[in-house]
Amino acid sequence: MMRTTVAIIGAGPAGLLLARLLDVAGVDSVVLESRDRAYVERRQRAGILEQGTADALRAAGAGDRMDREGLPHTGIELRYDRRRHRVDFPSLTGGRSVLVYAQTEVCKDLIALRLRTGGPLLFGAEALAVEETGTQRPRVRYRHQGRERVIECAYVAGCDGFWGVSRKAVPPALSRTYERTYPFAWLGVLADVPPSHDELVYARHDRGFALLSQRSPTVSRLYLQVPEHTDAAEWSETDVWDELERRTETDDGWRLKRGPITAASVTPMRSYVHEPMRHGRLFLAGDAAHIVPPTGAKGLNLAVGDVVTLARALVAHHATGDPAGLDAYSATCLRRVWQAERFSYAMTAMLHRHPDATPFDDRLQLARLDRIATTRSAEADLAEAYTGLSVD
C-alpha cells in the first residue's frame, strides 16, 4: 500500500498544477493518470489563458516557455451583420489581457516539472474507486501495470474529468446537479496556415456561429457551429473553408487565409454543475465538478481557479491545522463557477443560432451585439468576464 498526503486523480492541467503547488509548499502528493504520457501531451483542448491563470503558472515556476511562446491578446473581435467590432481588454479592465497557449503545452510544462522534482506521477494508472472519504484516511483503489493497488492518504483531489470516478464517491442523496445541453456542437479544425486575424474573431451569422482562433503564428484553430451528433468526416476541407468564409465575411474586404487541415473533431455543448464540490476529505476540481460551453473560454481557467483555491486551503490546514479554507472550498469555488456559467451561457446564446430560432430571436441577438458595440458598460462586462473572474 502506498501512502501520501494528497492523492490526485487525473493528470490534466488541474491535477498537475495542484501537484506542483503542493510540491512548492512541501506537501507530498501522488498523481494518477489513466492515459499514457503521449496521449496527455497531445490531446487538444482549450487555448485561452486568463490573466490569473497565466499568473498562477508563473508563480508555480511553469511560466518560462509560456512567456516565450504564448501569444498575448489584448482584445477580441465580434462580427455580425457583416460588421466588425473590437473589444479592447486593457482599457475596459484596468490593464488585464489574455494569453493564447494551448492546454497541451501547459500539460507538457507541468509534467516536465513534476518529473524533474521526482514526485510520483503514474501514467496508465486507472482509478477504480474513492473510498472512506468521511474518515481521516481516505483511500483510492487503482489499477497499474496489471495489478490492483491502493493509496492511503489524508485528502483526495478529484481532477479526473466529467467521466471520472471521483464524483461517484459523493453519495447521491447529497448531490445536486444542474445541467443544460445544447442542440448544436462545434466542428473544430487545426490548419497549417497563419491566423487570418491577429486576435480571436467571434462571428454570429444566420448560418451559425464561427470562431477564428490560433495556436501559433503558423497554426490556426478554427470552429464552426454544426448540428449535434455531426460526424467530422462528413466535412471536406473545401466545405470547412467555404463555410468559415461565409460566416466571417465583412463589408471591408477582409479575406480568410486557407491552408491544409491537419485535424478535425466535434465537441458537444453542455453546461453542468455538481454541488457540493467537497465531500469529507474528497475535493472535486475542474470538469469533475463543472462543464461550460467553450464559447466563453472558461473551462481550463475554472479548473485552475479551483486548484489554486484548494492548494491554498490544503497548505494552510497541513501547516496550522486551520480547516477554514477547506470548509469554505466548495462555496468559494461555486461562486466563481456560477458566474462563469452565466457568462458562457450568455455568449453561447448571443452568438449561436438555435435550430428553432425565429426572426424575433435573430433580431434579439443583433440587439445584444449592438449593445456591446455601443455601450461601454456592456462592453466592459464582457471584457471583465473574459479576462478573468476572481479565484477568491
The whole-angstrom separation of Cα 248 and Cα 80 is 8
Cell representation of residue 228: 449535434
Question: Cell match 455538481: residue?
Answer: 274
Closest CA to 49 of 382, 337, 303, 300: 300
- What residues are annotated to the active site? 73, 202, 294, 298, 386
CA 240 to chain centre: 25
Report d(CA 337, CA 340) in Å as an integer: 5
